[in-house]
Amino acid sequence: AGLFAELREKFGTRCDVLSAFYAGWLMFMDSELHRTLRAALRTPIAMATQRALECLDRELEQLLSAFPRGQSVEFVSDFAVPLAARMLGMVIGLPQECALEIPKLSTPMVHFLGHRSHSREEIGRVLEAISQMTELMDRHSAKSPAGTLLGSLDKVVACIRSASVNLARRRDEHSR
């Protein structure tokens, strides 16, 4: 509410619609642990994204050269999804052949987030997809290059553990 009060003060009632829209979201309500996690991920994500962008021309060339000349292709499934998967795979630190698993595994998760009611089967598919994504990342985390998310995982986990310990210590001090 503090952020929206500031916006309303600065811009007037035009922010009321925006404020109402975001009122139920967790936006700007990060816990200290979440802020710590975001801070720990900021540099690895920036480095990995830069590395992926440097490879973009090569990835585009590889994808485009695979298309038969003079024939039509399905833009989304033949080009956009594989390109996004390859780039995301580079950021995460997955080998190219595993990156194409990302769209397959993330589809049930994204669908789950986009709907309010879920059947047991949908929940099962999401849990299975999360399990498979975790296994995929576990298999490749030790081999992932520095400057990728998986390659930086040890630093991120250490940061989270440290923040958790600090938060627990503060809670103990406040409860006394």
C-alpha distances in Å from residue 102, one per residue of 36, 85, 96, 154: 26, 6, 11, 22
Residue 91 in tokens? 């950021």
CA 141 – CA 25 distance, rounded (Å): 32
CA 172 – CA 161 distance, rounded (Å): 16
Alpha helices in the chain (DSSP H): 2-11, 15-22, 32-54, 56-65, 75, 81-92, 96-99, 101-113, 120-141, 153-175
CB count in 10 Å sphere of residue 98: 16
Of 100, 92, 102, nearest to 52 by C-alpha is 92
At 110-134, the pLDDT tens digits run: 888 777 777 888 888 888 888 888 8
Give the mean pLDDT of the chain: 79
Q: How confident is the model at residue 19 (pLDDT cuts 50, 70, 90)?
A: low
Model-wide pTM > 0.75:
no
Q: How confident is the model at residue 30 (pLDDT cuts 50, 70, 90)?
A: low
Average pLDDT rounded to a whole number, residues 22-29: 55
Across 5-9, 88-92, 101-105, 164-168, least confident range: 5-9
